[in-house]
Every structure is written in C-alpha cells, then in structure tokens.
C-alpha cells in the first residue's frame, strides 16, 4: 500500500498495562491532517485513513521489541467496509468508537471479524444505553473513568463482570486512581499514571541508581574524549555487548561488521556515543516494567527534540542539549525523587534546569509540551504548538518516526518488558 509522502501522519502509541504492571498491549492513536504548507491532497478520505492506519500500525510494531496486541480505533464506515481485514488478526484489536451507531449492520460486521480471529473492543464506555449487543460480543470494554464517580465505576465494573469481556480502565492519570481501579477489579489499565513521580518521604535512590547517575554526570562534561568513552564502555561487559549490537544493526547500514569498542565509538563519534550511553544507563536503572516504558519514552523525547532542533536556524539549545532536555524530562518518575533534588547532582546549565523543574514557566517549556501532546495523541494541541514553534508538520512527523526506530535499535537488547 502506497503511503502519501507529502501528507503528515501523526502517530502515538499508548501502553496498556496488565494487573502485574507489565505492558500487555498498545493503543495506536493517529491523525492525518492537511496543512496550508503541505503539498499533499486527499481525494479519497477513506483510502487516506486506511493508509494512515497501515503506516501507523507498522510504527506501533516497530516501537516494541516483542509483538504485542495493538488497539486501533475504527470509525463506522471503515468497520462496514471491512478495512480491518488489511491487518493481522493476531495483533489487531478493532476498537468500536462510542460515536459508532450500533446498528445490525455493525453487529454483523463485528461478528464476521470475530469469526476470522479478530478481537473487538468497545471504546469510551460509561454505561450509555444502546451498546448491549456490542458488549455481549466484545472481548474488551474500555471504561472512561473520568465520566463517572468512584461509586459509579465500581457498580459498572460489577455489572460488566457478568459478561465474558475483559474490562479496561482508561484515562488514568494518577497512581492513586490506578491502585483504586486495580482494587475495584479492572483487568487492564491505560493512561499516563506511570509518568507521575511516586515520591516516598525519606526514601533515597538506591546505590545502583546513584552509581548510574554518577556516570550520567560524567557524560555531561564537554571534555570527554573518544578514549575515555571507550574505557567506560569496555569496563562493562553488558554495555560493550549492547553497543556492538547497536552499531551492527540495520539502522546504520555499515557494510562490514564492527569488531571493537574503540572502532564502534570512533564510527559513532562522541555525541552519538554519549547519547547512546545516557539512554542505556537510564535503562539499567529500570526496576519495574513501567520503568522500562518510561525509559523508552524518555529516549524517544530526547531523540525527537534533537532531530527537530537540527531543522531550525536558531534552536533554543544545541541539538545535543535538546536531546538531554527530552531524556531527562522523566528522571523524576524514573528515580522517584523530585526533579530539583535530582538535578542538584548533575552539572546542567541553569536555563535547562529551570525548564525541567518548571516547564510551564519557561517559553522553551513548549518543546516538552509538544512531546507530551504527541505521546497522548492530543492532536488539537499539537498543531498550535507546531505553528508557534514554526515547525514544518511533515518534518515533525518524520522526526518522530525516525526517533522511534532509533530508540528501538538502541534499547532492543535490554528491553525485557516491552
């Protein structure tokens, strides 16, 4: 299927966790929209949507080191046109939007999908009438917890538990709500609660975390040379193995394999090697499956901001610093300490520290707003931010797609949970 080359495709994939805090699946969020400065034109909106789904599905699979189910929203016309059959039944979960009119034709289309091995999910359910037949055949029911009180959520889960469908709590933004939804009896959980720091009074980073933070600190100085980097990596067998896997991957396309750490570092250069080291050092600080997802997101933020900044004449920071801004933006959630305490131990310039601690009070905090909106699929927020930052929409979406592939390649040997 041919992808429209001049048409920006915004794609985000949000993790879905199981009751063991592991990433079980992803929901694919996508949006393709025509911009005034985009050369692309769409003559057939349905065909364009199919191309967007196809492109985004490939991206979602790329973002995971293991094949996991991918939930995809299908509007009414694409359900009736049997568009889901273009995607593999073992991975694609067809989400029925709450705006779909549950007619007999829709019911029949869902039954045909199920008979061919597809799973059906009902999206944004909060007890509204008319979806009884969809609920009866659904494999998953996604409950919008923001539209209900805790008592209403509990009663709804009790009612839905009479069906065979698994129940998923969506739009969970805080860890307290997550724990409550677990207690109530939900099977799966979706939202950005895992990005919120869980600071425990009196707790301290572990010795392993402190050791890794010291390595990050050492990498922040400007006078690190290739020999120093080579020695740091060679002292760690795991890092050495991962670096050679990384540089020998198809992402770089080197014609002959690299056989030594010094050769690898020389080919990558100081900047790329430092970036790779920072990402993998953070990865080694993972203590839970959620931490693994956080590391992926942090690295994706960093690479995305770096690539975007290279397209600008006057970025707020040099590309390497933009990488660090994105990478460190989730340190508080990863380590479980306030951001200001963590940054005290790192030799970062005050301007960047202020953005990381109080992004809303800095004009450059808009860059972090961009990546957060991208992650959450908040397309109505992304477009004004892109315009305000004077970014090209097509370059922006291409940068995001490239960043996903870079992070997957960087972390592939170590991402055990996703």
d(CA 311, CA 393): 12
First to last CA, the chain: 28
Dump the DSSP string for 103-140.
Answer: -HHHHHHHHHHHHTT-EEEEEEESS-TT-HHHHHH-SE
Query: What pLDDT does 31 receive?
Result: 64
Query: What pLDDT does 233 receive?
Result: 78
Q: What are the strands, taking DSSP E only, across 356-414?
A: none
Confidence of residue 418 (pLDDT cuts 50, 70, 90): very low
- Of 218-222, 309-313, 370-374, the one with minimum mean pLDDT is 218-222
d(CA 157, CA 164): 12
For 199, which DSSP code?
A: P
Q: Compare 60 and 230 and report the one with higher pLDDT.
A: 230
d(CA 155, CA 271): 55
Confidence of residue 195 (pLDDT cuts 50, 70, 90): confident
CB of 404 closer than 8 Å to CB of 395:
no
Most confident range (mean pLDDT) of 93-102, 108-117, 390-399 is 108-117
CB of 166 closer than 8 Å to CB of 135:
no
Residues 6+ apart with CB under 8 A from 18: 24, 187, 188, 189
Confidence of residue 318 (pLDDT cuts 50, 70, 90): confident
Q: Compare 97 and 210 and report the one with higher pLDDT.
A: 97
Query: What pLDDT does 57 receive?
Result: 65
Can you give the length of the chain in residues?
418
Query: What pLDDT does 35 receive?
Result: 38
Say what percent of the chain tops pLDDT 90.
Answer: 29
pTM of the model: 0.78
Burial of 167 (0-12, 13-18, 19+ CB in 10 A): buried
Q: How many helices (H) and strands (E) would you count in the chain?
A: 18, 8
Residues 6+ apart with CB under 8 A from 39: 6
d(CA 301, CA 295): 10
d(CA 322, CA 362): 15
Q: Indicate if the pLDDT at residue 55 is higher than 70.
A: no
CB of 271 closer than 8 Å to CB of 298:
no
C-alpha triplet 414, 276, 190: angle, nearest 5°: 55
Q: Which domains does the chain have, with CATH numbers?
A: 9-195 (3.20.20.450), 207-411 (1.10.3210.10)
Pairing of strands 92-96, 140-144: unpaired
Query: What pLDDT does 3 receive?
Result: 38
Q: Indicate if the pLDDT at residue 51 is higher than 50.
A: yes
Q: 374-395 as b/e, with b when 16 or more CB fall inside 10 Å?
A: bbbbbbeebbebbeebebbbbb
């Amino acid at each position: 299927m041919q992808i429209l080359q001049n048409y920006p495709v915004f794609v985000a994939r949000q993790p879905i966790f199981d009751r063991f805090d592991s990433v079980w699946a992803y929901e694919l969020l996508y949006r393709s929209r025509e911009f005034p400065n985009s050369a692309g034109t769409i003559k057939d909106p349905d065909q364009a949507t199919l191309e967007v789904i196809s492109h985004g599905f490939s991206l979602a699979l790329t973002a995971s080191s293991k094949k996991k189910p991918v939930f995809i929203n299908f509007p009414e016309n694409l359900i009736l046109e049997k568009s889901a059959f273009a995607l593999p039944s073992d991975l694609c979960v067809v989400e029925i939007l709450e705006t779909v009119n549950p007619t007999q034709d829709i019911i029949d289309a869902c039954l045909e999908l199920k008979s061919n091995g597809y799973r059906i999910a009902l999206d944004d359910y909060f007890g509204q009438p008319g979806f009884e037949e969809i609920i009866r055949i659904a494999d998953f029911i996604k409950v919008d917890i923001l539209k209900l009180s805790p008592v209403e959520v509990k009663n709804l889960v009790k009612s839905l538990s009479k069906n065979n469908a698994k129940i998923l709590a969506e739009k969970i933004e805080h860890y307290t709500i997550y724990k409550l939804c677990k207690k109530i009896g939900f099977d799966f959980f979706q939202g950005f609660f895992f990005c919120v720091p869980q600071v425990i009074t009196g707790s301290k980073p572990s010795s392993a975390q402190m050791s890794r933070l010291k390595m990050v600190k050492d990498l922040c100085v400007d006078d690190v040379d290739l020999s120093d980097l080579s020695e740091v990596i060679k002292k760690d067998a795991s890092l050495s193995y991962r670096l050679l896997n990384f540089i020998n991957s198809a992402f770089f396309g080197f014609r002959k394999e690299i056989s030594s750490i010094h050769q690898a570092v020389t080919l990558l250069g100081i900047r790329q090697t430092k970036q790779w080291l920072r990402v993998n050092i953070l990865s080694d600080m993972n203590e839970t499956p959620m931490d693994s997802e956080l590391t992926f997101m942090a690295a994706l933020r960093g690479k995305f901001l770096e690539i975007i900044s290279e397209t600008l004449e006057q970025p707020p920071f040099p590309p390497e610093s933009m990488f660090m801004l994105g990478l460190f933006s989730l340190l508080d959630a990863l380590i479980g300490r306030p951001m200001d305490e963590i940054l005290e131990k790192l030799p970062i310039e005050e301007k960047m520290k202020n953005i990381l601690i109080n992004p809303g009070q800095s004009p450059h905090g808009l860059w972090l707003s961009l990546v957060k909106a991208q992650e959450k699929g908040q397309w109505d927020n992304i477009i004004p931010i892109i315009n305000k930052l004077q970014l090209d929409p097509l370059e922006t979406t291409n940068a995001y797609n490239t960043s996903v592939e870079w992070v997957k390649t960087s972390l592939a040997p170590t991402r055990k949970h996703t």
